[in-house]
Amino acid sequence: MKANRIEVVAQSSRIGAEIRGVDLAAGVDPDLHASINQALLDHQVIFFRGQRLTPAQYCDFAANFGPLEDYMFADGMDGYPFITEIVKTETETESFGSFWHSDSTYLERPPKITFLYAREVPPRGGDTLFSDMYQAYTDLSPGLQATLAGLRAVNSAAVVPRDEDVYAEVKSKNSDKADQQASHPVVRIHDETGKPALYVNGIHTLRFDGMTRAESLPLLNYLYAQVPRPEYTYRLRWQADTLALWDNRCTQHYALNDYHGYRRVMHRIIVEGDAPRGTDRIEPGGK
């Protein structure tokens, strides 16, 4: 489908689209930005192949979507404080983001969009999986949707089920802030599309607000089990110079750590978001 000057090629029936016909290095005018943003709202994760951007051009492109945000647990690149370099070397076994999650949900205002620009990729593996949290919510029974509508959950920067060293590669500062917490609605209303999405994740969500973790876990674990369902997911196979962006308000993602012995270098940028909004009442079926 052609939307203005871009070609939007859906990658699955649910989520993911490749955007063709754009050289981001040439700059993005307001009309082009509106088309790209609409593609992101429609497909939740979008990517461009073969982009050759300087760090400054990469920041300029990302800034079309909102103010860039400092990632609190890592220093940025020299001269580019908003670009976090995520590196897994040939000798390392831990990787960043290898669990289903939405980014930084422990913040009062979690980043709305994350950008990832592939600089070096392994010959195979190192894909990123994405899952559609609108559909994960919509497919819940009306009874469970009604139960979730008024609930909030406490999210923590302390990585819940895994060891701290999962983050060793990039968690180079503020490790004393690992107890950072924020309470968010369990069902988030997307501020641009108005659609409800499931907004709990197995790595940052600790418990329902007002309940203990033991009381919360049976239902949380049921919800987490919905996230990786194949029919909600899309798997992005990176190439060097692929630039992807995803909407953290309605997706979760998972970086596959299946490429030991090879190097992978990604440049990551996050864009500021709003405080997640919920609702007391959502019409059954997620409308």
Task: Choose, by CB under 6 A, the member of 114, 135, 205, 233 that binds ligand SIN.
Answer: 114
Residue closer to ligand SIN (CB basis): 110 or 286: 110
Is 187 a binder of ligand SIN (CB under 6 A)? no
Element (H, E) at 119: strand 113-120
Residue whose CB is less far from ligand SIN, 208 or 238: 238
Please say whether the dihedral angle defined by the alpha carbons of residues 119, 109, 254 and 155, taken in this order, is positive or negative.
positive
β-pairing, 45-48 with 17-20? Answer: parallel
Q: What angle do CA 86, 88, 91 make, to 5 degrees?
A: 160
Residues 13-42 that bind ligand SIN (CB under 6 A): none
Region of 17-25, 95-103, 154-162, 274-282 interacting with ligand SIN (CB under 6 A): 95-103
Provide the minimum distance between the beta carbon of 38 and ligand SIN in the complex, in angstroms, as a whole number: 23
Binding letters toward ligand SIN, positions 128-167, x by CB under 6 A: x---------------------------------------
Out of 43, 101, 152, 264, pick the active-site residue: 101
The residue (of 86 and 220) whose beta carbon lies closer to ligand SIN is: 86
Q: Where do the H-state alpha helices sit in 70-154?
A: 133-138, 142-149
H/E run at residue 217: helix 213-226
E strand or H helix at 58: helix 55-63
Among 19, 28, 68, 86, binds ligand SIN (CB under 6 A): 86
State how far the Cα of 256 lies from the Cα of 237, in Å rounded to an integer: 10
